[in-house]
Structure 1
């Protein structure tokens, strides 16, 4: 898959670090998509509608008093924080749709790149990246609050932005939507090859690792009880490959697995 993607003409035109970021993203996406096949036969939960917006379950991890969290903290290094995330905004007066696809990991990355600006990040990261990508000014820009603009040095440190000749630039790969779909086809093919090779064995492993819960917890969806058997799979593979020098070779910088895509949106009157 990585060799196939690197051979695309539009990928060849990317900077070296952007190629690495795109490869990181593709590897994680293929692994996480495969990971879902482990619970593919389990009935999806019915998410209740919440009065303050959306359909969701709340869940938490409870620790007994005095519990030694050493192993739990070590295991968190193998988790993807929130999984594959897609954000979307319409820019240029609504004529163009831009999406940001990203993972947050703990390996040469920031597991919480939005830091203390959680709401600002998800509302303004795409408009900010797009204005910088299209060489539009961001100073005194009413669309993006100064508080988020002040966060730019952190975005540089986390690898989302860069600086060349005292000029801000978008450091992650930026693709047309059609180009991203070509990458996604390669990702899907890699996922299918994994399913053919080890899909049945992985499903059997997951089925044997259902997390027990106290009897009084009667409303925990079955799907949630297989999280411990699946949540660490993708990063376990990535870290093993990294330690063997097969992935992220020579990377010693913050290298976010993130991709921004764009296409022209049709106007509606």
Structure 2
């Protein structure tokens, strides 16, 4: 499938943490498409940097595999186990997913409340400090062929909830279409190249993002962008104001950054 659209800059990711750019959960739902699976995908994106990497990766892998019977209880129970609170916007996504899969509402109600998404505990390496490796080149070659991708970026993170101090690759992808399936494909590619617990953030129109994603974007290097000339050498970091997504069809993309 041909890649489409713009890149990850310019979608308002520079806003202050907790700045709600929507009129509430209904506006966030109106800005996206994809039903119950998309609601779960957007929730898991919003939880990056708050849930430990391993359970987050597993939940995303199950979503890509359409393992909804497991997910309808695994998502809220994972939040309860790690004592991660959710904002009202995030709870609306959780409720939409669990109810859509006929899961127990009591688990949704039991999840802790958070007024805003917390600031990230992780830190990111300054962009341009790390050269490209084999996994970067694989992502550059793979992603334009597997979905409606606008841009691919990579950052390096240290620390995080329950994580050791080794550097962790974080891949940011602007895309349209089947975002859970694209997330699963990128995770599998990274695992095949030595990343046991891949960090992959696939952002679509209306996706809820947090200060974790702003920090990752600021520290990221561009691996590939639709319409850019082919080159093996990585360009210098391009620090834009946010994350514009790709265009799908003839309509302009909605703002990608939705603060819970």
| TM-score where L is the length of structure 2 | 0.25
Instruction: Work out which of the two has the higher radius of gyration on C-alpha atoms and give 1 or 2.
Output: 1
Higher helix share: 1
| TM-score where L is the length of structure 1 | 0.24
